[in-house]
Each structure stands twice: as C-alpha cells, then as structure tokens.
Structure 1
Amino acid sequence: MTTPRDTPASRRVRANGDGTVYQRKDSRWEAAGYVLAPGNTRKRVRVYGTTRKEALAKLTEKIAASNLGLPVPSAQGSVTAYLTYWLENVAVHHLRENTHTRYTAVVYRYLIPGLGKKKLTRLTAKDVRTWLNQLRATCQCCTRRLDARRDQPRCCTVGQCCRKLLSPLTLTYIHSVLKSALEHAVREEEIPRNVARNVRTGTPRPRRFEPLTAHEARQLLTTAEGHRLHALFELALHTGLRKGELLGLRWEDLDLDRGTAAVRRTLQRTSTGGLTTLPTKTRASERRIALPARCRQSLKHHHEEQQRDRHMAGTEWQHNGYVFTTPQGRPIDPTNLTRAFATLLRKAGLRRIRFHDVRHSTATLLLEQGVELVVIKELLGHAHIGVTATVYAHVRLRLQRDAIDILGHALHNPAETADQPDDGDYPPPCAASVR
C-alpha cells in the first residue's frame, strides 16, 4: 500500500485552493490557480518555470498577493498605450488646460521615448531609476536635435556638444507626471503597485528669487504714479495677489467701504479658449483679504478713470465687470501685463525681476516686519503653512540672525540691562523690532 509520502512529487494531490502543478510535454512546468481579479471576481492564471519548484513559487506568490486583497493586473498593453489613454480619458477631466498641456508635452517628449515600449505590468522600479539616470546625463540639444533647427548650427550639429542637461527641478516634474499616471493605473486595478513611488529623485533646491527691498518697492510705486495700472501695481505690492488673481478681479468682488476683496477666480490664457476665467489655483486660494487704506483710495480713483475710458470708448466699450481692463474694456492679457511691468522697472531704474517676484516681495517685507507666518499664509492663499515656511526659509534665517545679534549685544553689554529689574514683565530680546 502506497502512502502520500511515497507518491511522486508531480502526482501528489494538492489542497483545495492551492492550484495545480504539472509538467508539460515541452518539459516545462506549469502551475495554475485562481486569484482575485478586478471587479471582485476570480480569475484562473497560469505561470511557468523550468522546474516544479520555480513554477510553484510563482503561483504561491500570486495566491499570497490575492489573499492580501491585491487583484491580478489586467493591463496587457504597453506604457505608451496606457499613457495615451490616461491623457485622453482621465487627466483631461481632472487638470486645468494649461497643466494638461504641460503633462502632454512631458509624456510625448520624455516618458514615451524612454519607457513607452515596456509592458505596463512588467515595469519595475529599476527600469524607472535607470531611465531617470540616463535622462539626467543626456544632452537635450543632441537628443531633440535642437541645434539642427537653427539657421547657423553652433554646437551639437557641428560636433561640439553643449551639454544642455535637464535641471533637477525638471527631472522631479517629469517623475511626478509618471507617478500620477501610474497611481491612476493602481486605482483602476491595472497594476498592483506604483513602482515610480519607490524611486527617489532627491529634493531639488527651490528656485531662487530676488524680491524687492522696501526702498525698491517705494521707488516702484513712485514711478507707477500716473500709470493707468497704478492701482494694480499698488494692490500687488500690498496684498501679494497672483497675476491671474489680479486680472480676474471684478468690481463685485470689492467692498471699498469695508475695505475687503474676495478672491474667487483667476484669468489665464489657454491654447483653445484664449483668455479664460478659471477657479482659483487651490481651494485655499479662494479667500477674502483686507485692503489697506492706500489701495482703497487708488481703486476709487481707478474706477473714476475707467468710467472716463468707458465714456470715450462709446459703443466700442466691452463691459465685462473686470477691475483692470484695456481702454476698450477688454480683459488684460497676462503677457501684456508682464511687458508693462518690465517697462515700469526700466523706467524706475530697477533690476529686472519677474512679476511673480512682487508676490515674494510682499511676503518677505511682511516677515521682516514681524508679521506672523500664519497671517502671511492666509493672505497669500497657500494651502498649507509648510509651503509658506519652505518658500521663505531664507527670510526666517535672517530674522533668527537678527534676533541672535540682539541677544549677543545684550549679553556683551551688561551695563544696559543692569538697571532693569528682572521681574518677568519685560519682553525677551528677540521681541525687539527687526532692522
């Protein structure tokens, strides 16, 4: 009488639910079993190996993952096919048009050429890391043949590589687009996990900006007096509103008697819709801010000037309700505002900065005046206070240095504090005004 121990390994009866394993005619081993599939259904899968142990190990791994609630991947196509599907059917409904345009450029310029031929289900963290390392060291002028499009080639085409490499910030952005696409594939149960999340690209250094000093800000406002957009530049410096938020303001959003403004929308130019009014950047960006007295007076004067422009334009006036418009009542293109700002900087004799640096200037000047970080966060409309703290970390370091200098001055001049009673009623040295 034979016992199960005496039965050959290939003919043993496996327990219910463990699947089956047998040797094929081509001498390979095949294992088959039922695992969890998308839609809370079960699907029979087959795996192969050169030995019984190898095939059984593969099947055991799939069954173990199934028992943990991870469905078997259902995607059979390439990364190219999935990224195309994601852009056309998913991202287009969840992203702003300009953001979707940038994502599309990243997908077709970097992701598809680098990873497009791989199967989505077989994409590994090692593949992503290897591709990013290659992308980091590749000259984009050579790869995209940028020099060949010039009238007079001067670098890559003539054999002198210019080493036009991608910046760490661009690499991080490319990596984030891939993570977003694969994250949706996980949600749709196309793949079991997002392999791009296991790859670290490092934290890029924040982009340097040169905010205006208090003296430069006063010089800019003095030069802007008499400019038809003087109220806009003054409002930008006093409140730190974004360019699109300024251009998207309507008179109905302002309460000049109470001195408040409601930020509800932003004005942007898109490739399909032209100048378009969109919701604010984030939910936190939709906010109500206080208007200083100087801005209230400027806005009242600007309203009178706009009424005169409307009277002179006559039937050509296009009433849209915007606070800042062209002489014909049309909304102002953000690019034209950038040009006007650059002209104003030259006229004032100031260095060239971005318009967005005016926003940074507002936050920097507020921090230097000792305003609490949470107040600046609410004024700027940041979603999290960590964003405010990170962007303006250099300012906080300077304030710490000033506070330490004040303390050091007090410690090295005991005569100045000897006559003061130490009863706890005096504020600490760091509470002194900042220079």
Structure 2
Amino acid sequence: MSDPIKKITLKDGTVRYRFVVDIGRDPETGKRQQKTFTFDTKREARAEYDKTRHKVNEGTYIRPSNTTVGEYLDGWLEGATRNLRVSSKRSYRDALRPVREQLGATPIQRVTKADIERMVTWMETAGRRRGGKPGTGLGPRSVRLTLGRLTAAFEMATLEGLVARNVAKLVKPPKYKPAKPDTWSKDEVRLFLLKAKDDRLDAAWRLTLYGLRRGEVLGLRWDEDVDFGTFATQCGKHEVKWCVDCYVEGTATVHVQQACVLVEGKVLIVPPKSENGFRKLPLDVAAASALHTLKVKQAEEKLAVGEGYVSSGYVVVDEVGEPVHPEWYSDEFGRLSKRAGVKRIVLHEGRHTALSLMEKAGVPISIVSKWAGHYDTAFTYSTYVHASDEDLHTGTEALGKLYG
C-alpha cells in the first residue's frame, strides 16, 4: 500500500508534506467529502494523519464548517422553543441578544472560552440596551440567563458534531442571590381588601389575593370562565337570588383557561403555562358576591354608555367595556395599596402572599400547589411559601407546649 503522505515541492523550492483524508459524506447533500492537510515536516503530517483517521473511524471527527453563531442559534431556537408560550420564546430571544451582538458573526467552531469571557465582561459593564440606561451594565441574573441559554445551544452543537466541546461550560457565571419576595400578613391583606371594597374592581383584587396570576385574572371571561352555580338561583329559605346567607362555599367557581399577557409591548391571549394551569377554583361567598356586584355594575355602565360600550366579554374591563392593560392593572394595585395604608408590594407578590397564608393556615401543600396551578409541590414550597420573623413565635409556642 502506497504512503498516503506525499512529498511536494513548491515553485520556490520549499518542500511540504500533504495527505488527503476521506471524512465521510456531507449530511445535507450526501456527497463524498475529502479534506487536504499540508505540513512542513513528514513527522507532523504523519501525526495528524493518524489522529484524523482515528477520529473519522471513531465518528468523532469534526467537519470544518463556516456556520456562524447567529446562524446556528436561529436553528437551535426553532427547536428549543417550539412548544413554549410566546412570552417564553421572547425570553429565549432576549437572553441571546448579547450573544448575537458580540459573537453572532463569528464561526461557531472558532469561538473560544476567551471570546465568551469577553462577552460576559461587556455585558457586566456596557451590555444594557433596554430596561434602563443604554450602555450601562446588566445585572448578574441577566448574565447568568444568557450564559445558560448559550451553554444549552453549544451543548446541542456538541451532540450534533458541529463543535468538539462546549466552551461555554467553562465560563463561570457571576454570583447571583435572588431577592426574597415580600408578602403581606393576613392583617395587611384584610386592610387592603377593606379599602378595595369601594373600588369597582374589588372582585379582581380579591382574585389576585386568592393567588391567581395577573394574566389569569385579566384573561377571565364571564360566559366561559365564571360559573355562579345555584348562587344565581332563588334560595329555598329566603326565596331570593344571590342570597349570601344561604351560599354554600364553592358554589361559584372561576375556570382558568387562558391568560392575558404582555409580550414585547403587545397584549396577547395565551393558554396557561402548563396543563396544571388549567383549573377550576371554588370561591367563597366574598369572592362570589364581589363578582356578582361587578357584573351588575358593568350592566349599568353599558346602559349609561350606550352604543359606544365594548362588549368584550371579559371580567376585568374599564367603564366603557375595554379590557384593562396589564401594566395599568399592576400600577393600580400599587396605588390602591398606598391608599389602604399597607406596605408596598408588587402585584405578583400578592400571589406569594396568598399561597404562604394558605400554607400557614394548615392547607396541605398538595392542595396549595394544585390551587396555584403548579406541576410540583416542591416548587410551590421553595418558591412561593415564605415564613416571616413573626411566624417564629409559632415555633416558640409549639416548643413551649412540648416541653412545658
């Protein structure tokens, strides 16, 4: 068998050593591919020939590719986000914006750990493009999210045989300690709800503090999602409809089947985050009565406005029937909190408040988790159930009874 390494002499008399290796077929065209290698010495050529042949035979040879990081991410995102909600897809795209800006035009096979380290430094010092002053640094949470998405993409590229190893895994993410969500005590909740009683959206605020997400509250529709049950019929004892005295807990329900969310400035209607998000929640008499009061109020407003009234069918609308904007709803929650004289928490912390108070009241965590629409009780416990310093007195009382 002839030696695959050939000695060649260039026009200027320089001697080189060259060999050609069959590296298999192009996965897209099916055509046979060969690669030519040239070295200064036969020893170097022999070493590279043996190494390359071994990799080809083992199936670990990485074919040269000019695919850029940006091009690869386009394809990776299509598969990685195929079954995700629109808002989740946006989260992926946003996380990879710094990568596209700093490394998008670079061939993926040429990206080094140093390239990614420089991108991280740029993100921490000047990477902000929105959500604050452009040109300032991004926080550790944003940097970690970007690194996480990039690492996942490079991991797939490694499995596909496009790159030899995942250099993104070698970059250490910045330390990040998430802020602990703030919650209200049951007394603060009562103060807020007392003030909210005079607000036309009392029912919505109550549902928020029953643990529904903002999008879930704003996505509720009268006909499809709210069922008053026998509350809407004449009771046997007092012979009146909407009888609070005869209301049986859970008679009325709200069915969470969709959410109204804000994505890139656009209001969209999307299904719940998961199958667990589809749920029918039984209501107490206070929530059921507040919903009935709101329905009556909207009927009066429709008569007053006349033809200009928008019959959207949604529960949470303004005085002319238009569904309220998600950002307005969050801001209004803050304004109402201030008027109620309670400490300021963000709207989503109302959900944390509800689930924490349910757990403290002795509701089994499995029920709390199902109420919240979560897939896992451990997630509910670790993310949404919080104990305050005042709650430590419960431990003191328990120990006193045990050891007293």
**Band of TM-score, shorter chain:** 0.7 to 0.9
Displacement of 1:172 in angstroms is 1.2
1:362-418 C-alpha deviation (Å, 9 max, x unpaired): 11112222322222221112233332233146539997x6675456435643xxxxx
Residue 279 in 1 paired to residue 266 in 2?
no
Could you tell me which residue of structure 2 aligns to residue 426 of structure 1? none
Q: How many residues are treated as equivalent by the alignment?
A: 375
SS at match of 1:284: helix
Q: Could you say what secondary structure the match of 1:178 adopts?
A: helix
Residue 234 of structure 2 corresponds to none
- Give TM-score scaled by structure 2 length: 0.77
Q: 8 Å contact 1:76–1:119 — kept in the other structure?
A: yes
1:171 pairs with one of 139, 143, 149? 143
CA contact (8 A) 1:285 1:381 kept: yes
* 1:17 paired residue number: none
In the alignment, the residues of structure 1 paired with residue 254 and residue 53 of structure 2 have an alpha-carbon distance, to the nearest angstrom, of 59
Q: Which has the higher contact order (CA 8 A, sep 6+)?
A: 2
Task: Indicate if the aligned counterparts of 2:21 and 2:34 stay in contact, CA closer than 8 A.
Answer: yes
Q: Are 1:250 and 2:221 counterparts?
A: yes
What is the correspondence of 1:135-174 to structure 2 with a 5 Å cutoff?
Answer: 135=122, 137-140=124-127, 164-174=136-146
Mapped contact 2:143–2:174 kept (Cα < 8 A) = no
- Tell me, in whole angstroms, the C-alpha distance in 2 between the residues paired with 1:395 and 1:363: 11
Distance 2:394 2:335 in 1: 38
Of residues 285, 289, 293, the one that matches 2:281 is: 289
Name the stretch that deviates more: 27-36 or 208-217.
27-36
Percent identity over the alignment is 25
Residue in structure 2 matched with residue 431 of structure 1 by the alignment: none
Tell me which amino acid in the other structure corresponds to 2:314: Y
In the aligned structure 2, how far is the partner of 1:318 from the partner of 1:74? 60
Which of 181, 184, 190 lines up with 1:212 in the alignment? 184
Greater CA drift, 119-128 or 90-99: 90-99
The one-letter code matched in structure 2 to 1:368 is K
Which residue type is aligned with residue 44 of structure 1? Q
Q: Secondary structure at the match of 2:380?
A: helix
**1:266 shift after superposition:** 0.8
- Aligned partner of 1:409: which letter? G
Q: Residue in 2 aligned with 1:363? A: 355
Partner of 1:335: 327
* Deviation larger for 197-206 or 116-125: 197-206
1:231 Cα offset (Å): 0.3
Name stretches of at least 5 consecutive residues in structure 1 with no aligned partner. Answer: 1-11, 15-19, 150-155, 157-163, 414-435
How many Å apart are 1:275 and its aligned residue?
2.9
Which amino acid in 2 is paired with 1:228?
R
Structure 1 equivalent of residue 21 of structure 2: 32
Please report the TM-score for the alignment, with normalisation by the length of structure 1: 0.72
The answer as to whether partners of 2:87 and 2:263 remain within 8 angstroms in 1 is yes
One-letter identity of the residue aligned with 1:305: K
Opposite residue 102 of structure 2, the aligned amino acid is G
Find the aligned partners of 2:48 and 2:301 in 1 and give their Cα distance.
77
Give the partner amino acid of 1:341: F
The one-letter code sitting in structure 1 at the alignment partner of 2:67 is G
Task: Name stretches of at least 5 consecutive residues in structure 2 with no aligned partner.
Answer: 10-14, 230-250
RMSD: 3.7
Are 1:119 and 2:107 matched, yes or no? yes
Match of 2:400 in 1: 409
